[in-house]
Amino acid sequence: MPQSTKKTCVIIGAGHAGSVLAVQLRKEGWTDRIVLIGEEAHLPYHRPPLSKDLLAGEKEVAGIALRGQAAYDAAEVEMRLGERVERVIPELRTLRLSSGEELVYDALALCTGASVRHIELGDGLDGVHYLRTADDAMAIRTDMRPGGKAVVVGGGYIGLEVASVLARKGMHVTLLERAGRILERVTSPVISEYFTALHQDNGVDIVTDAVVTGIGGEGRVSSVLCEDGSEYAADLVVIGVGVNPESTLAEEAGLQVGNGIVVDEYTRTSVAEVYAAGDCTWHPSALYGRQLRLESVQNALDQARVAAANIAGREVKYEALPWFWSDQYDIKLQIAGLPIDYDHFVIRGDRLNRDGRGFAVFYFRGEKMVAADCVDRSAEFLVCKKLIGKQLPVNMQALADEAWGPDSFEMRDDFL
């Protein structure tokens, strides 16, 4: 019998990155075998709705699939859902599944994402939740009660989105944040203040400098205790205190790991024929001059496309501009770039007047725009994505002055 000459690319993790990588690899001309292995039983799905429409009951799990089964069939992607990879042995180009089965690969992509950080309080009590998967979101939905008391631990984007849904569903919501302001890790005080006021207007109590030390109850949660002795009654607790990159598999396989799986600009790990994409990576950014670990759909999709191109034999660098969004109540925040290492900012619009016209904050390092937070300002967001991504010169006069439209933000010769 002649030996099969077909090669196999195995992708571990059937989330945003894994799903795109599989389908894109076929588009890149890979004619051999593609196997996509995912621990969750659902077809790969959009995660953002978990703290938005799905949590609010406006969508169901089947309605948030990234693509239907037919798309994987058409791309001849072998789906292995509900299966976990336990070990990767790069020397043998082999991996072992939880079932005990072994698979040999020629190319491997790690798209293992991230998993929630646990605070190890209230474990085992009904009504205490974390949120990363569709099953988590459905469990929170089941516990939502109009008129009930909810405590959200953590004032990052996910905690705030959850608080906005719970408040809209008629729950009395208290949000406890350990830092001095919400969103401290990810944005400026201006944006933190705006979202604090927005939540307060919608009846959410925001408590900062609140260090949670206990979650109590008998069988079911009934209270949350803080270090300063304050206690909050709770029928439902949702904990959103960040995620850790899923890099254990990589570490055990001897791959270089920092704040995630270390990859170069071609999405290659430290081991030959092993690539990585998405939330699990610690990757270089030429634009920001540092290694980054991003938790965003943009990063997962763009990096996965680059990985697919490189696995298929092209040489493509990952150079995409980071961008992100968050929906709270009827407000859309869109973020272009990363508001880090800035030395000053410019505000456009009236941030105190919530009249539906929105506002934007543009962050600069010297003359270089490094990020923009745009609240209900999609036109500004789109222009800033281009300005930051292409490092174009900025017409400073136009930024704060609404007499100038966003199309005037780029410095052109006729403005000189």
Residues near ligand FAD (CB under 6 A) are: 12-18, 37-40, 47-48, 50-51, 84-85, 111-114, 131-132, 158, 246, 249, 278-279, 295-298, 300, 324-326
Measured in degrees and rounded to the nearest 5, phi and psi for residue 97 equal: -90, 165
Output the smallest distance, CB 136 to ligand FAD, in A.
8
In the complex, what is the shortest distance from the CB of residue 302 to ligand FAD, in angstroms, rounded to a whole number? 11
Nearer to ligand FAD, 198 or 347 (CB): 198
Cα(313)–Cα(30) distance, rounded to whole angstroms?
9
Considering beta carbons, is residue 131 or 369 the nearer one to ligand FAD?
Answer: 131
**What count of Cα atoms within 13 Å lies in the side-chain half-sphere of residue 407?**
0
Closer residue to ligand FAD (CB): 322 or 349: 322
Token pair, residue 326, equals 């968050």
Number of residues assigned to the chain: 416
Closest to ligand FAD by CB, 210 vs 301, is 301
- State how far Cα 207 lies from the chain centre: 24
Which phi and psi angles does 224 have, rounded to 5°? -125, 130
To the nearest 10°, report the CA torsion of 243, 15, 336, 267. 90
**DSSP track, 132-180:** SSHHHHHHHHHH--TT-EEEEE--SHHHHHHHHHHHHTT-EEEEE-SSS
With CB atoms as reference, the residue minimizing the distance to ligand FAD is 15
DSSP classification of residue 13? -
To ligand FAD, the closest distance from the beta carbon of 197 in angstroms equals 21
Q: Taking the alpha carbons of 35, 42, 278, 293 in that order, is the dihedral positive or negative?
A: negative
Nearest-approach distance from CB 245 to ligand FAD, in angstroms = 9
- Closer to ligand FAD by Cβ: residue 148 or 278: 278
The burial class, CB within 10 Å (0-12 / 13-18 / 19+), for 69 is: exposed
Q: Nearest distance from residue 413's CB to ligand FAD, in Å?
A: 36
- CA 44/CA 32 separation, integer angstroms: 22
Instruction: Decide whether 305 or 409 has the Cβ nearer to ligand FAD.
Output: 305
CB 37, min distance to ligand FAD, A: 5
DSSP string, 271-331: STTEEE-STTEEEEETTTTEEE---SHHHHHHHHHHHHHHHTT------PPPEEEEEETTE
- Closer residue to ligand FAD, CB minimum distance, 47 or 377: 47
Nearer to ligand FAD, 302 or 380 (CB): 302
Minimum Å distance from CB 40 to ligand FAD? 5
- As measured in angstroms, the least distance from the Cβ of 196 to ligand FAD is 19
